[in-house]
A and B are shown apart, each in its own frame.
Chain A
Amino acid sequence: MNRIKFAIALCFCSFALFAQDYFPKNDGVKTSNTNYHAFTNAKIYVTPTQVIENGTLLIKDGKIIASGKTVSIPKNSTVVDLDGKSIYPSFIDAYSTFGVKKPERVRGGNGPQYGPSRTGYYWNDHVMPENKAIEKFNFDSKSAKDLIKAGFGVVNTHIENGIIRGTGTLVALNSEADNSMRILNPNSGQYFSFSKSVTSRQSYPGSIMGSIALLKQMHYDADWYAKGNSKTRDLSLEALNANKNLVQIFGAGSRANALRADKIGDLFGIQFVILGGGDEYERIKDVKATNATYLIPVNFQNAYDVENAYLSRSLALSDMRAWNQEPSNPKVLAENGVRFAFTTHDLKSPKMFMSNVMKAIEYGLSKEKALEALTTIPAEVLGKSSEIGSLQKGAYANFLITSGDIFDKKTTLYENWVQGQKTVLEDMNITDIRGDYEFTLAGEAYKMTLKGSLSKLKSEITSDNKTRGSKVAYADDWVHISMTTKDSTEQKFIRLVANVTNPNALNGKAVFPDGNEMTFYASKTVKKDDKTSADDKKEATQKSAKETVPITYPNMAYGFDKLPQAETLLFKNATVWTNEDDGIMENTDVLIKNGKIAKIGSNLSDGSATVIDATGKHLTAGVIDEHSHIAAASINEGGHNSSAEVSIEDVIDEEDIGIYRNLAGGVTSIQILHGSANPIGGRSAIIKLKWGESADNLIYNDSPKFIKFALGENVKQSNWSSFARFPQSRMGVEQLYMDYFNRAKAYDEAKKSGKPYRKDIEMEVLAEILNKERFISCHSYVQSEINMLMKVAEKFDFRVNTFTHILEGYKVADKMAEHGVGGSTFSDWWAYKYEVNDAIPYNAAIMHNAGVTVAINSDDSEMSRRLNQEAAKSVKYGGVSEEEAWKFVTLNPAKLLHIDDRVGSIKVGKDADVVLWSDHPMSIYAKAEKTIIEGVTYFDIKRDEMLRAQIKKEKSELINQMMKAKNKGLKTQPIKKKEKEQMHCDYLDHQQH
């Protein structure tokens, strides 16, 4: 039987398969097909670990009836002999947007929108658990075809929009059926992300930390709602509760966000399935610790186009490494026991999917793990193991027929069956005619080679060692070849045609340009297989997994090969700035042991210590920056006028080069403050600059609790066009505080009364302030507002801890001293906006003289690495003694941050956070030579010198590799120059607008 006709016949038959039996039928008679299909003599991968040689797969009605070695084949079966071929389960993509139109970004609008656009739902437009992918779903035959070609049988699609995105839909890619058949689960899991919806302009949340807080608050509210506490209806909360038992899938998209998502899950007993970013290998232990299953994209980057030596100079080592290392990510995940499935997410086209999976295998991923990640794991994730992802009895007949190992480049994928519906990708019964031939036509001898894939054959024909132009077409056992004649002055063609009956010879006829015909017979000279054996050998020798350049901590320039350890260090003969009663001690030794300052004195010795000759050098406590915005992924949550619910601790970025540069300036601790977009900002992170450690390990143990407040022009939104948010004047700022503190007081009383209450993160935080458990660091400039906040605090019986910036502090220094608030100021900034018109560089000196605890801060990632110089300005402006001025950047900020029991001075028992300076620490000529935190040398000027050389070398190597990739003909991507946004108080996240 002609195969084409067979395929069409099957098509006709199969229509009947999908007709719903209770539907009326007007276009013919009702039929039903009770026939079986049996696939015999195949290597069947029932699961990645259960493989049957010479087995039989029996299917009927789109389902698997049996798979095994001895399957009895019913008489009404169409039997397909798959001798030498393999059957695999079709793949599953659990993170897809198949058939769901990308939502369009809303445009226009005057000024920010603070309220929601809808009613009857949650107060925020960006959370839409009530959304259902099935309601937006339209089967997209074109995309389905691409996915089928890539080996997929089933995808879980969703609406990729918003922070809570509602439920997904599990769809079989069965183009011949309709939704009644192919929808496997209309509500197949709930999707989340940190990204705002593009369909609403509502301002909140304007940052990842806002998204985190929103997700937490909504889950608290859902619980409260479920208990019947709400007087009003909220369709979003109802949906969130209704979806609770579905698989919860979080579109994190990066390692850092995955860890953030997992922490939210931990709070509510949810184990998210997490979309990864392909960068998990960089900190695999943290990833493993989440215990989550990951959906891993395989969009490995192309090499950068580095031919232009000027442009390529701007390429960061981290970006180069990503290109080199990313393909090893799946291997690293597998080796560390992280459960994961592959997804086509982020790939431009599914066409690249399989080659990238094979690339991961080249980099060491086992084929078994790869197959699991494509079949059984996504099936388990979606709770459908019995139906998809395997070839067990009862499962959908979703399978692939291949010429052999599916992960071998030479393997041909013949057919992809979905729900018993066949799609032919390559004709598997076609005769392989590839090889070298010789033939003679009209007395002339020809040599011909046919090569390439069977569906896209290529030909090469020579005669008298001259190449003839030629083309070949091959299908359905007919081969058609055309070639140019010997006479090159005129384009004329000889056509050859043959019906293939014998794989070793072509027998047909030749038609000459003049219409004459003659017989044509070409015999194969060498078997194609023999020719490639040399290549095979070559490949076999290269079989060991491809190497990548080693990762560092963090995985970028200046990272550590492995995390550095604390040492016992003995500084000999230093000038020691103790910041204690001993003052500045000359010719003094300091012993550091177990991360602490162990001894201070003369002629110290310790057998286990590394001795550092500090003659002529100065040893001080590490610099502490009370006001920093480095090392954070976001700074401002300006979507509301209060954002006490957000925390910088959630968004620490341990890969900010600012950390390393600050270390090089002698900085050891910083407070990362929320920005000044709103009167009540977010909570701080107080961290040590432990370069190389994971984000969470930077945060102080038992960290004092702080929150940012802000006053003046920024919170009034004076300097940008926004007129819709209260407050717009300093008058309003006071009332806002009064309102929030009154509410927090009432909240706290209700909570303490033991009666049921609605848990409100924002109120919890504000109540901590009232209960003196959390301290305020308040961005402030002019005297009126400074005075105001102290009075507000006094009304509620607490004190403001710190005024930061506080440029008019000198005008109310007496009042500040009386209130007991510290001042953390700039050394000499002024004149950049109206409220700093009266800022003076003598501010620190005047406040200090009035008895205020004074610190000098940076609010700037450049100045922060020269805070020693900024302290020195207090000597110039106002004549502060050098010893006291030095405390402005060490002990005093430690006091203001309530960490002076641990850091800020050189005192036995305190943390060994010290800096060795080449000179007087406040001299313009001083350099930090070693910066040590808890006995670990995080910056060493000599090591830095070595690293520069290493970076240069590694970059050159990687550039060379990229040049090779380009020369091999691989695709490249243009250079990019990543610049981290330099964050200040005024900085608003723009990535999410």
Chain B
Amino acid sequence: MKHIHITLIVALLSLYLGFAQQTPAPKQSKAIAITGATAHIGDGTVITNSLIIFEDGKLTQVLDGTTVKVDGSKMDVIDARGKHVYPGFIVPNSTLGLVEIGAVRATNDDRELGSWLPHVRSLIAYNAESKIVESMRPNGVLIGQITPRGGRIAGTSSVVQFDAWNWEDAVIKEDDGIHMSWPSPFVRGRWWLGEDPASKPNKNYDAQVNEISDCFNATKAYMQGDRSTVNLPYEATNGLFDGSKTLYINVGNEKGIIDAVNFAKSHNVKSMVIVGGYEAYKVADMLNKNDIPVLLQRVHSRPGRTDDDYDMPFKLAKLLHNSGVTVALETSGQMERMNSRNLPFYAGTTVAYGLTKEQALQLITLNPAKILGIDDAYGSLEVGKSATLFISEGDALDMRTNIITHAFIDGRLISLETHQTKLWKRYSEKYENQD
């Protein structure tokens, strides 16, 4: 608590400590000003001695505070000199709140039976009180796109903020996108049948692509009929054609990306995003021409092939950025939920491999906001947008200095306590009392 300067806020925070789950903060009732911080706007710009004011959950002032005086009587003032302010980080393509403990099947709600499940919605299974979700906040990760897994079409995602009583409370954008896995160019050998476990070219690739095409065509045919017998998958798929949903296609290889883009174009899909995109940099021109952004696979991952550059996953963001593609980082993969709090450090790593810090910041703020279609309210510190932001003692992209003192979602000062901080304190005290 030593980092907090405003007594009022200390009082507010201590209220929450007694609860098992962190209590969502109430609506912002009074204007708040953050003074003197280095503000990282999220669009690539920085204001070194900034003044940030927000009221009723919205930013009203974001400017150079060198010559501006704040009226402390009308608002709570947080003196953040020497500190940094960032827009809340956004984690797309996430299963946060859908699974609590991976190995305990009863807590798993991230995948359904079947392969064509556009009608399956993640939002209603999203556990706003997940202990893992709350552990995102002390690292600055405040918004997520909650996404189902599995099948050819896994289902429909929604975008939520991470301080809520329930999923209705949490939702920022409901049913924003449909998530598809593009057929793989390789299939693994079935070792249990005595086959070589190495991967071989997928002979069914074309057939699998045709299956997707058939389903899209069937949706269009269905929509032209009287729809008297409701077909849930077709109804859901239609969002891709009327522009209400974005098509997220998980695909990494160059040819797959080309095929996926051509496929989506040929079906007049209004909006599409490449997810993964290991080789997206090789087809950047095509992506730019068609205005297709990339949710780039986890930065902290192994190179895709033995011979690949050891730093390939680290530098992909730079390669794509250089080509002008809109890139955001995603975190899916092994232990993805608990690892999502490392999102800022994924961005930090891209700096060591070519980007500037502000460019890297965009990968987890404004760019994902744009891709998810929430940039009217989130993703950057701009007047009129939601006051979803946090104050860090230092550079939030480096783990040594990502020490967060205050975080706000829609202007609400949220608790930074978690199941984990409570255990930390409980046992630290235990040993202190032993001395």
Contact = CB atoms under 8 A, between A and B. Distances in A.
A975 B201 contact: yes
Interface string B339-365: 001100100110111000000000000
Given A875-B400, A925-B348, 7 more contacts: A311-B201, A314-B185, A317-B307, A657-B306, A834-B104, A924-B351, A948-B309
B135 to A, nearest CB: 8
A577 interface: no
B200 A925 contact: no
A388 to B, nearest CB: 34
B196 interface: yes
A877 to B, nearest CB: 8
Contact of B192 (A828, A876, A977, A993): A993
A831 B132 contact: yes
Nearest to A863: B300
Interface stretch (A73-81, A180-188, A838-846): A838-846
A335 B199 CA distance: 36
B399 A664 contact: no
Given A105-B194, A557-B306, A849-B431, A927 B102 contact: no
B318 interface: no
A976 B199 contact: yes
A105 to B, nearest CB: 7
B204 to A, nearest CB: 14
Contact of B400 (A310, A922, A979): A922
A926 interface: yes
B424 interface: yes
Interface stretch (A138-146, A171-179, A807-815): A807-815
Contacts of A878: 424
B257 to A, nearest CB: 10
Nearest to A918: B352
Interface string A965-984: 00000000011111111100
A660 B310 contact: yes
Interface stretch (A87-95, A564-572, A865-873, A898-906): A865-873
A254 B131 CA distance: 49
- Most chain A CB inside 10 Å of its own CB: which residue of B131, B196, B255, B310: B310
Kindly name the residue among B301, B352, B401 whose own CB sees the greatest number of chain A CB atoms within 10 A.
B352
A318 interface: yes
Contacts of B431: 813-814, 846, 849-850
A773 interface: no
A525 interface: no
10 contacts: A311-B201, A316-B307, A661-B303, A719-B103, A831-B132, A840-B424, A842-B424, A922-B400, A924-B397, A978-B199
Contacts of A923: 398, 400
B292 interface: no
Nearest to A992: B191
A861 interface: yes
A918 B253 CA distance: 32
Closest 6 CB pairs of A and B: A833-B103, A924-B348, A977-B199, A842-B424, A557-B307, A310-B255
A713 interface: yes
Given A850-B431, A991-B197, A833 B307 contact: no
Interface in B176-212: 185-186, 188, 191-192, 194, 196-201
Given A810-B427, A838-B423, A924 B352 contact: yes
A977 B305 contact: yes
Nearest to A955: B307
Contacts of B310: 660-661, 664, 865, 944
Contact of A869 (B186, B341, B399): B399
Interface of B: 100-104, 131-132, 185-186, 188, 191-192, 194, 196-201, 253-255, 300-303, 305-307, 309-311, 335, 337-338, 341-342, 345, 348-349, 351-353, 397-403, 420-421, 423-424, 427-428, 431, 434
Interface string A308-335: 1011011011100000000000000000
A828 B342 contact: yes
Nearest to A198: B194
B331 to A, nearest CB: 13
A832 B102 contact: yes
Contacts of A414: none
A919 B349 CA distance: 13
A556 interface: yes
Given A310-B254, A990-B191, A866 B300 contact: yes
Contacts, number: 166
Interface string A813-830: 110000000000000111
Interface residues of A, number: 74
Contacts of B397: 924
A840 B420 contact: yes
Nearest to A875: B400
Contacts of B302: 661, 861-862, 982
Contacts of A990: 191-192, 197
Interface in A850-869: 850, 861-863, 865-866, 869
Instruction: Give the interface centre of B301, B349, B424 by most chain A CB atoms within 10 Å.
Output: B424
Nearest to A655: B306
Given A833-B103, A977-B198, A924 B338 contact: no
Given A862-B301, A923-B400, A926-B352, A311 B185 contact: yes
A974 B201 contact: yes
Interface centre among A661, A981, A991 (most CB of B within 10 A): A661
A474 to B, nearest CB: 43
A438 interface: no
Contact of B101 (A105, A664, A833): A833
A955 B428 CA distance: 57
A16 interface: no
A862 B302 CA distance: 6
Given A314-B186, A314-B305, A924-B397, A846 B428 contact: yes
B305 A316 contact: yes
A862 B335 CA distance: 13
A719 B107 CA distance: 14
Contacts of A660: 310
A863 B341 CA distance: 15
B338 A828 contact: yes
A606 B186 CA distance: 55
B403 A876 contact: yes
Interface string A929-973: 000000000000000100010010001000000000000000000
A876 B400 contact: yes
B420 A927 contact: no
Contacts of A463: none
Contact of A975 (B132, B188, B200, B399): B200
Nearest to B431: A850
A862 B300 contact: yes
A831 B337 contact: yes
Interface in A183-213: none
Contacts of A924: 345, 348-349, 351-352, 397-399
A922 B398 CA distance: 9
A453 interface: no
Contacts of B192: 990, 993
Contacts of B201: 308, 311, 974-975
A830 B255 CA distance: 37
A882 interface: yes
Nearest to A922: B400
Contacts of A982: 302
